[in-house]
Amino acid sequence: MDTEPFNKTAFLEGYLLKHRELGKRQREYKKLLSSKLKSRNETIIDASYENTIDRLEEEKNDLRAQIWVAAGTTHIKKDKRYLAQIRCHVECQENLAEDITKLKTSICNMEREISRVSKQIYNLNRLTVPEQQHQAHVAKVRKKMVILENSLEVGVRQECGFTAANAELREQLIRILNHRTFFNDSYTKMVQKLNSDKKYLIDLIEYALNTFDGCIDVYEKIDKITKRESKERELRRIELQSIMRKVAADADNTAFVECKGRERVLADLPDKEYRRRDEFRRKHNKKINLYNSVLKKILDYTNSSNVEEVIEKFQQQESLYYSFFNYANEMSYHITLLNNSVNRLFEDIIDLKRENTNTLQDQIDMINSLEQQVRKKQASNVELHKTRESNDTRLENLLQGVEMLCDMCSVDTTPLNELLGDHSHVNLVNVERFLRLLETRIQDIVASVYVFERQDEGNNDYVVKQIEKICELPTDLNDIVLTQQCPECAEGEAFNMDDGGDGVAIHTIKEAKQKLYEKITQPEMQYRLHSISQCRLPRSRMLAAKRNV
């Protein structure tokens, strides 16, 4: 049972895409390593890049193993066997098509030649006219021939003038073509120089981008320093305000104490007031001792000597915990992105499996359709073989008929004996020569019958009534095709080196035939040889109009 053929093209394209992504990530990782300063976000990004690079390395190893399996001898032998079968079928079809085409062409040519001979015989019998009518017609034709000879002489003189002007225009066209060649060479050199300078421009752009990134980092640092200085300035202002308030309060307290600190004779307080003050002093001393013990424990725990160090350490720990919280949030965000990427990859894998299944079914259907077409072609080939046999039989009968006509007309075949080959019987090789001799013999017989019938003056019932051919109308000078190419068309057909053509791509036999057919049947090929007055280009019409003025 045949297995599904391995799609090497899609597999190698996926491998190259992933390899390019790996190279891109490696270059970004090198740029990050070469940078001097790294923030916390950059450290997290570096870690994600390293994880991605490791994952891509694993995928690369898996792809390499799959490539080794796909390049096994079993798949190669199977592909070669299928290709050999396909090539054999294609060659057989092409050979059969060529043979059938040749046979059809030969048969058509034979039928056309036979019809032409029959038509000539009919025309010879139909165009027989009396002698007096023939003499009048000859005199009329001679007058017309004299007029046409005069017209021909005038046309030849005009053509000579046109040829001289054409030579001058040809020199101008040669100069223009030389200028155009020089321009194409200069343009090609400039394009090559631009391509060579492209790498230098890319390096300059990368350098500018790196410089711009460095400027952004410097701006961030300056912004942080400015914010820190403004914050410190605000703290100093607040501290100065507190000091000023403290100095004012001390001055007020000093004035109050000086006012109230004078010796006075006061009456003794009641016992209730003494008890209240003792209770208040006792409670506050207890709280002060508790606060002092707590403060001492905090100083011992933090290994600090004063409260300012404790506050600073607390702020540092708070900032560190906040940074850890942000790092945890960032990691959870990246984990969510990776989970989404994994889910998308699983969906892509499922879609790829479904697509491969559909592709396999399509390929199986295509194979079945191709097998049906092969069976139909085989049946049509059998019918074509039968047609060929029948055509061979008809062709043999026609050749025998030509040979019988030659025998009936007593055609002299001695000139054919000097040629190579067997000319004792009519075949496809010498049928043209036999028909040429038969045509000459028929013309001789008709001329003889015409002369013998005219010798008897009393006989008016002629078998060959007219033997001469009516002179066809003369060809118009404008319809005469020159043997040189039009200069304007030659310039239009000049090859431009910048176009590049079709390149060096190898086409199949069908594509090559199609391109050859399009090139032969294009309208420009039918008007390759003509005068400048018959050219269809606008500039040629302008030049022809100037000459006729």
**Averaged confidence pLDDT in the chain:** 77
Report how far residue 93's alpha carbon sits from residue 75's, in angstroms, rounded to the nearest whole number: 27
Residue, of 265 and 68, whose pLDDT is higher: 68
Q: How many CA atoms lie within 13 A of 12 on its CB side?
A: 7
Domain ranges of the chain: 275-303, 305-382, 383-454
pLDDT tens-digit readout, 27-39: 777 776 666 555 6
Per-residue model confidence (pLDDT) at position 476: 59
Calpha distance 298→307 (Å, rounded): 9
For range 98-114, the mean pLDDT: 84
Evaluate if residue 542 carries a pLDDT over 80: no
Sequence-distant (≥ 6) Cβ neighbours of residue 384 within 8 angstroms: 96, 100
Task: Give percent of the chain above pLDDT 90.
Answer: 2
Q: What is the pLDDT of residue 472?
A: 53
User: Residue 437: how many CB atoms within 10 A of its CB?
Assistant: 19
Give the whole-angstrom CA distance, residue 440 versus residue 434.
10
User: Residue 438: what pLDDT?
Assistant: 84
Instruction: Say if CB 327 and CB 48 are below 8 A apart.
Output: no
The angle at the Cα of 382, spanning 376 to 387, to the nearest 5 degrees, equals 125
Q: What is the distance in angstroms between the CA of the first residue and the CA of the last residue of the chain?
A: 83
pLDDT (0 to 100) of residue 284: 92
Can you give the pLDDT at residue 498? 42
Q: Which helix (H) or strand (E) holds 243?
A: helix 131-260
User: Which tens digit of pLDDT belongs to each residue from 312-354?
Assistant: 888 888 888 888 888 888 888 888 888 888 888 888 888 888 8
Residue 211 or residue 266, greater confidence: 211
pLDDT band at 16 (very low <50, low <70, confident <90, very high): confident
Q: What is the CA radius of gyration of the chain?
A: 54
The stretch 500-517 carries a mean pLDDT of 64
- SS3 letters across 362-405: HHHHHHHHHHHHHHHHHHHHHHHHHHHHHHHHHHHHHHHHHHHH
* Residues 401, 402, 408, 411, Cα dihedral to 10°: -160
Whether the pLDDT of residue 483 is over 50: the answer is no
Inform me whether the pLDDT recorded for 80 exceeds 70.
Answer: yes
Average pLDDT over residues 380-385: 89
Q: What is the DSSP string of 161-208?
A: HHHHHHHHHHHHHHHHHHHHHHHHHHHHHHHHHHHHHHHHHHHHHHHH
- Overall average pLDDT of the 128-149 stretch: 78
Joined tokens for residue 70: 């796909």
CA distance 142 to 260: 163
Burial class (CB in 10 A: 0-12, 13-18, 19+), 37: exposed
Cα angle value 511/515/520 (rounded, 5°): 150
Band the pLDDT of 531: cuts 50, 70, 90: low
Q: Band of the pLDDT at 431, cuts 50, 70, 90?
A: confident
Is the confidence at residue 482, as pLDDT, over 50?
Answer: no
H helical segments located in 410-508: 414-417, 431-455, 487-492
For residue 511, the one-letter residue type is E
- CA–CA dist 41, 47 (Å, integer): 10
Q: What DSSP assignment string belongs to 94-141? A: HHHHHHHHHHHHHHHHHHHHHHHHHHHHHHHHHS---HHHHHHHHHHH
421 vs 20, 418, 425, 426, CA distance in Å?
70, 9, 11, 12
In terms of C-beta density within 10 A (0-12 exposed, 13-18 middle, 19 or more buried), how is residue 162 classed?
middle
Cα–Cα distance measured from residue 229 to residue 239, given in angstroms and rounded to the nearest whole number:
15
Of residues 444 and 481, more confidence is placed in: 444
Between 420 and 102, residue with greater pLDDT: 102
Mean pLDDT of 230-252: 87
Q: Which residues contact 157 (CB under 8 A, 6 or more apart)?
A: none
Q: Give, in order, the Cα–Cα distances in Å from 110 to each of 17, 165, 305, 428.
A: 63, 48, 125, 9
Nearest-CA neighbor of 82 among 136, 2, 23, 11?
2
- Does residue 367 register a pLDDT over 70? yes
Rounded CA gap, 67 and 427, in Å? 62
Q: How far apart are CA 214 and CA 207, in angstroms?
A: 11
Residues 18 and 30: their CA atoms lie apart, in Å, by: 18
Helix (H, G, I), strand (E, B) or coil at 347: helix
Q: Is the pLDDT of residue 503 over 50?
A: no
pLDDT tens for 215-228 read 778 888 888 888 88
